[in-house]
Amino acid sequence: MLRLAIAIASLTGFVALSYEIVWSRVVSYATWGRPAAFGALLGAYLLAIAIDSRESRRFCNDDERGDRRSLRALGSSIIAANVASFMVAPAMARGAAAAVSRSRSYSSSSRRR
């Protein structure tokens, strides 16, 4: 059981760091490499880890640790967090495309004047 827990912890750590790398690349591209963007990203990332760690304490300190209801809630929150995390890059790309489209339409309308 300990090996399974270590394997799961290792896998989730790998996935979390992979997301951070993808997000930092996307945010860097979207903000044109502004240094403050990485600091904001890192702060949000660490804040989310702290909040999730605090929330997971509830599952670790529960008297009924193997309770199916608690495990389903934990599994559902993990799946929801991964889906939301996976959607960060496409959402940023869509936002950047919309911003470029607006700036092009603004610049073409200002040239006509």
The predicted pLDDT at position 84 comes to 84
pLDDT digits (tens, 9 = 90+) for 5-35: 788 888 888 888 888 888 888 888 777 788 8
Domains identified in the chain, total number = 1
Domain coverage including residue 33: 2-112
pLDDT digits (tens, 9 = 90+) for 51-91: 878 877 776 765 555 577 777 777 787 788 878 878 877 88
pLDDT digits (tens, 9 = 90+) for 42-53: 888 889 888 878
Describe the chain by its helix, strand, coil percentages, rounded to 5. Answer: 90, 0, 10
Residues 6+ positions from 93 with CB-CB distance below 8 Å: 26
The predicted pLDDT at position 69 comes to 75
Contact assessment for residue 45 and residue 67, using Cβ atoms and an 8 Å cutoff: no
Q: In terms of Cα–Cα distance, which of 99, 95, 76, 97 is closest to 87?
A: 95
